[in-house]
Structure 1
Amino acid sequence: MENMKVLLYLEGEKYLSKSGIGRAIKHQERALKLAGIDYTTDPEDDYDLVHINTYGLKSWQLMKKAQKAGKKVIMHGHSTEEDFRNSFIGSNQAAPLFKEYLCRFYQQADALITPTDYSKQLIQTYGVDTPIFVVSNGIDLSRYVPDKTKEETFRHYFSLSQKDPVVICAGLYFKRKGIEDFVKVAEKMPHVRFIWFGETNRWIIPADVNKIVSKNHPANVTFAGYIKGAVFEGAMSGADAFFFPSLEETEGIVVLEALASRQNVVLRDIPVYHGWIDDEAAELATTVDGFVAAIQRILDGRSFKKEAGYLVAQSKSIEKVSEQLADVYQKVMEL
C-alpha cells in the first residue's frame, strides 16, 4: 500500500460542490488521509489508480488515457437511472439515455464502488458485470457532536424560541427528494416550523417545483437555501426532527449526518434503507398521514430511536470507510 498513489477525480467540481457527490469526494480525501494513502486531485500528477466520481466527457477521456497507460480505473456509482428521474427539467425523458450512457462508463471501468447494496443491485440489473464493491460514503462523527452553541446559533438565525417545534430537511429542489410531500405535511401541521436546507438553480427545475419554492407553500415553511457550518450543524442536532421524504437515493449522506447528530429521523420507507436502517433507528412511513403521525410522535416525546440511529452512523464512520477503501484499492490493483 505504501507505494500506491490514487487520483481522486471530480469533473465540474464548481457545480457539484453543494451536492452529495461534492460531499462524497471530501469524505474520500479524509478517508485516504486516515488510511495513509498518498493521493492527488490533479490529473497531470503521476498516479497508479484513478477513482472517478463523475460522468462527463473529461471523465471518459481520463478513463481511456489511464487505461492506455496501464493504470487501474474505479468508477464511483453515485448515480442510477432511478435517482436521475424527477430531478431537472427533462430528466424523465432523458433517463433511458442517461442509463445507457452510465452503463458505458460502468462497463469500461476495472471496478465500481457503490454506497449501498441497493445501488449495487440496481446497477447489476442494468447488465453491468464489472466487479462492484459496496463502501458507504461515510460520516465524520466528530463534526456532528451536538453543540449547544451551534444549536443556539441555528435558533437565533431563524428567530426561533427554545419552545418552537421545528422540523428540518436537506436536499436539492427535486421532486425526487419528496419536496411535494414535505409541503403537504407542513400544511397539516401549522403549529410546527418546517425548514428546508439546500437549493438548486431555478432555471433547471420544473415550473411546478419552482412554484412550490417561490410562493406555493404554507407560511410555516422556510426554504433557507444552501447553508453550511454552525447554522446547519446546529439545526441537525437542535431541531426536533429531521424529515427526509426522498423517493429514491443511492445512500443519502444527509441521513447519515442526521443520525450522527443523534437526531430523531423520519424517512420514507424505500428499498435503499433496507438492511441498515430499520424502524428501531428511524421513524419510517410512506404517506403524508404516516409522516404527520411519525413527526407528532416525536414532538409528543413518544419516539425513542436516537441511540439506535447513532449506532447506524457509527457503523459507517469515516475511520471504517478508510479501511474499506484501502482494501478495495488493494484488490483492484491486483485485478
Structure 2
Amino acid sequence: MKIAIFTDTFYPDINGVARTLKHFTNFLEKQNISYKVFAPDSDANTNEYISSHISRFKSWPFFLYPECRLAFPNLFRIKSELEAFSPEIIHVATPFNMGLCGIYLAKKLSIPLVGSYHTDFDYYLKFYDLQFFTKILWKYMKWFHKPFKKLFVPSQETFTQLHRRGFANLEIWPHGVDCQLFHPHYDKQPIREKRGVTKKYLLTFVGRLAPEKDVKTLMTAAKSLPAKINEQIQWLVVGDGPLREELEVDAPANMTFTGYVTGVELAEIYSASDLFVFPSPTETFGNVVIEALASGTPVITANSGGVKNIIKQGATGYLCEAGNAAAFADAILKLLENEGLRSQFAREGRDYALAQSWDTILSQLLWHYQSVFEDTNIEKYA
C-alpha cells in the first residue's frame, strides 16, 4: 500500500499532531510501506529532517495556533508529485490549506480518502473570545470532513462530541506511547541537579503556554497551596507559547520555565517528577498525559476532553473540574501528603501505558485503510 498524507504541521514542529504523524511515518518505514507527506515548511530547523518522502511548501503561522501553519501550496506541483507516487489512499490530518488540497486531489484523481480529527478548535474559540465564530466553524468542519470514507478520532469523548453534531464514518484511533523512552527508571538525582531542583517535591506541567491550555488555573492553584507545603515544592513548566512572558512575570518564585524540551530530556523530567499537573480542558487526547503515566508519574488533570478516557479517577490520577484552581490545589495536597497513594497511582499508570502500544494501534489503522481501499474497489466495479 502507498499512502499520501496531507497535513498543515509535521516534524520537527512541536505539537500533538506533528508528533503523532511522525510516529506513524516511523512505523510505515519499519513496515517498508511507501508514503509521501505534503506539509508546510516549519519555523523549526527543517534541515535536520530532509527526506524524499516529504514535500514542503511556503507557509504562514495560523493566528490561533502559530505552531500550525497555513501553507501556500502549488496545486500543479502537488498533482504532478501525487500522480508520480500513485497512492492507494490519501489521509488528510488537518482542516486547512494542505487538507483542502488533499480532498480536492482525492476527488480529482479518484483516490480513496480518509481523515483524522486532532484539535477541538471550538474549545479554542472560547479562550480567545471568538465564540461568535462557533456556528461558522462547525458548519465548515462538517463540510470539510463529509467526503471522508472514515474519520479517525483519538478518544471516545471526541467520538461522542462529533457524533452528536452529525459527523459520519467515525472510528476511534487512540494514540500510543513509547514506553522504552518514557519510563520511571531514570536516575532521578542527576536530573534534579541538572534542572536546579533542590526542594523535596517536583511538580511538572508540559504543554503549549497558551490560553487554551488554561495555564492561568495552574498559576492560581500553585499560588494557593499552603505555605508549609509550598516551601517543599519546585515547579517545572516545560513548553513555550504566547503567554510565556506574562506567566514568567506572574509566576511564584518556586516555578522555573524551561522552554521546549523533547526526547530523552523530556522523558527524564517526567520520570523525576512527583506529580504531573495539566489543567487543559481542550485536549482531544492528551499525549503528554499518557507520557507522564508511562513515566510512573501520577496525573492531575481537567475532567474534560480526551484525557477523561485516559485517567482512571482515583487509580492513575485525579480529574478536577475544569478551571477550578481550588480543586487542583486540593488534589495536589492529597497526593503529596500520601506517598503510598502516589506509588499506587504510579504503578497503575505505568501498567496502563504499557498496554498502549503504537505498533498495535497503527497496525489497526492500516487495517482500516485496507477496508476502505477494498470497499472503494467493490463500489468501482459493482
Residue of structure 1 in register with 2:113 after alignment = 73
Between the aligned partners of 1:106 and 1:94, the Cα distance in structure 2 is: 18
The answer as to 2:157 corresponding to 1:121 is no
Q: Which runs of 5 or more residues in structure 1 are unaligned?
A: 203-208
Out of 247, 252, 260, the position equivalent to 2:281 is 247
Residue of structure 2 in register with 1:96 after alignment = 135
The answer to whether the Cα contact below 8 Å between 2:311 and 2:319 also exists between their aligned partners in 1 is: no
Q: Where do 1:298-313 residues align within 5 Å?
A: 298-300=335-337, 301-303=339-341, 304-313=344-353
Residue of structure 2 in register with 1:82 after alignment = 122
The answer as to 2:233 corresponding to 1:195 is no
Out of 132, 135, 141, the position equivalent to 2:170 is 132
Distance 1:187 1:147, change over 3 A: same
Out of 305, 327, 337, the position equivalent to 1:290 is 327
Residue of structure 2 in register with 1:206 after alignment = none
Distance 1:227 1:274, change over 3 A: closer
Residue of structure 1 in register with 2:146 after alignment = 107
Please tell me the residue identity of whatever aligns with 1:176: E
- Aligned to 1:196, what secondary structure does the other structure show? strand
Distance 1:172 1:95, change over 3 A: farther
Residue by residue over 1:296-321, the C-alpha shift from the partner in whole angstroms, topping out at 9 and shown as x without a partner, is 23323142211221232223221221
Q: Where do 1:1-335 residues align within 5 Å?
A: 4-13=1-10, 17-41=13-37, 42=54, 44=81, 45-86=85-126, 89=128, 91-129=130-168, 131-149=169-187, 151-152=188-189, 154-161=191-198, 163-189=199-225, 190-191=230-231, 192-200=233-241, 202=242, 209=243, 212-270=246-304, 272-279=306-313, 280-286=315-321, 287-300=324-337, 301-303=339-341, 304-335=344-375
Between the aligned partners of 2:132 and 2:256, the Cα distance in structure 1 is: 31
**Comparing both chains, which one has the higher relative contact order based on Cα–Cα distances under 8 Å and sequence gaps of 6 or more?**
1
CA positional deviation for 1:49:
0.8
CA positional deviation for 1:281:
1.8
The answer to whether the Cα contact below 8 Å between 2:181 and 2:264 also exists between their aligned partners in 1 is: no
Between the aligned partners of 1:28 and 1:76, the Cα distance in structure 2 is: 13
Bigger radius of gyration, 1 or 2?
2
The answer to whether the Cα contact below 8 Å between 2:300 and 2:318 also exists between their aligned partners in 1 is: yes
Between the aligned partners of 1:153 and 1:70, the Cα distance in structure 2 is: 56
CA positional deviation for 1:271:
5.1
Residue by residue over 1:229-273, the C-alpha shift from the partner in whole angstroms, topping out at 9 and shown as x without a partner, is 333111111111111111121000101111111111112222534
Between the aligned partners of 1:210 and 1:225, the Cα distance in structure 2 is: 9
TM-score by length of 2: 0.77
The answer to whether the Cα contact below 8 Å between 2:155 and 2:309 also exists between their aligned partners in 1 is: no
Distance 1:152 1:105, change over 3 A: farther
How many pairs were matched up?
A: 320
Please tell me the residue identity of whatever aligns with 1:158: R
Between the aligned partners of 2:272 and 2:129, the Cα distance in structure 1 is: 37
Distance 1:56 1:142, change over 3 A: same
CA positional deviation for 1:211:
6.4
Distance 1:290 1:73, change over 3 A: same
Q: Which runs of 5 or more residues in structure 2 are unaligned?
A: 38-53, 55-77, 376-382
Moved over 6 A (4+): none
Residue of structure 2 in register with 1:205 after alignment = none
The answer to whether the Cα contact below 8 Å between 1:72 and 1:333 also exists between their aligned partners in 2 is: yes
Between the aligned partners of 1:153 and 1:54, the Cα distance in structure 2 is: 40
Distance 1:90 1:274, change over 3 A: closer
Between the aligned partners of 1:215 and 1:86, the Cα distance in structure 2 is: 24
Q: CA RMSD in A?
A: 2.3
CA positional deviation for 1:212:
4.0
CA positional deviation for 1:106:
0.8
- Aligned to 1:108, what secondary structure does the other structure show? coil
Instruction: State the identity as a percent.
Output: 22
